[in-house]
Amino acid sequence: METVATMTDPTSSIRLIKDGGVAHVTLDRPDNLNTIDLAFTTRLLDIATDLAHDAGVRAVLLDGTGRSFCGGGDLKSFAAHGDALPHHLRDVTSHLHAALSVLARIEVPVVVAVHGAVAGAGIGLMALGDIVIAAESTKVVFAYNAIGFSPDGGVSWLLPRQIGARRTLELALTNRAVGSAEALQLGLVSQVVADDVLATEAAALVQQLAAGPTRSFGVTKRLIHDSLTRSYPEHLAAEGEALSASAATADGIEGLAAFLERRPPGFTGR
């Protein structure tokens, strides 16, 4: 897949660049801490839809420019709507949640690289990652209750499943900031690196994943997510069917042959 910049408008709130099977999505409102407004959510939905329909995408990297990954909602823009704010927030969340639903179903690996503030719905964007790399500067804070709002962005659904309901409630109700070390301990992030190597580490990981058996990755993601709604016997049956099917794929045949021949596999995602 050739390098393609799908958005050249310098005023765009999110950039998308595709290169060699990697889709690099960058939140790009650095002067506003990459906060979320209606234009942001509309753009995110467009990007999510694009990625979901592009068979050439083999891995996704999501990160942000400036001092922070995402500071949550753009409260200044929200306040400007006055009495019409409830209606406006329905528009914002309808686009945001549609985008998140699409991104959650993408079967290729999603790597999220976070730094600085990760607040409000920014936590939802972070939590969508299959692997989350955090810079040492990362601070995660719910923020909603500080202004009398309740969560959005899937935060109240994703976090109880990732770190447990008890820990999620404590963070939500106290609104305390969680640093990178504690975020790692809680399971909010997968690993922590120095700020100056975050971009390099994230790029290397997503390139590694893009070169892997992406069809197998997709099945693995589905199995793990579906395990939350299946009984154990049902899930064992699904695993058996999936494993048998994977043995007939091009990547399955290549992977086994490469192992027997003691050579690196050449996966194609088929």
| End-to-end C-alpha distance for the chain, whole angstroms | 15
pLDDT digits (tens, 9 = 90+) for 165-182: 999 999 999 999 999 999
> What local confidence, expressed as pLDDT, does residue 112 receive?
98
The pLDDT score that the predictor gives to residue 143 is 95
Distance from C-alpha of 222 to C-alpha of 53, rounded to nearest angstrom: 18
- Residue 11 has a pLDDT of 57
Instruction: List residues bridging with 206 in a β-sheet.
Output: none
Rg of the chain in Å (alpha carbons): 19
Q: Helices 250-260 and 214-226: crossing angle, nearest 10°?
A: 110
Chunked mean pLDDT (size 10), the chain, 270 residues: 47 90 97 96 97 96 98 96 96 98 96 98 97 98 95 97 96 97 98 98 97 94 93 96 95 95 93
CA distance 115 to 134: 6
Note whether 120 and 73 are within 8 A (CB): yes
Residues 176 and 243: beta-carbon distance below 8 Å: no
**What is the model's pTM?**
0.93
pLDDT recorded at residue 12: 78
Q: The tokens of 172 are what?
A: 């939500």
Distance CA 240, CA 234 (A): 10
Rounded CA separation 24/227 (Å) = 29
Buried b (16+ CB within 10 A) or exposed e, 13-29: bbbbebeebbbbbbbbb
- The CA-based angle 198-175-228, given to 5 degrees, is 70
Question: Contact at 8 Å (CB) between 54 and 19?
Answer: no
Q: How big is the chain, counted in residues? A: 270
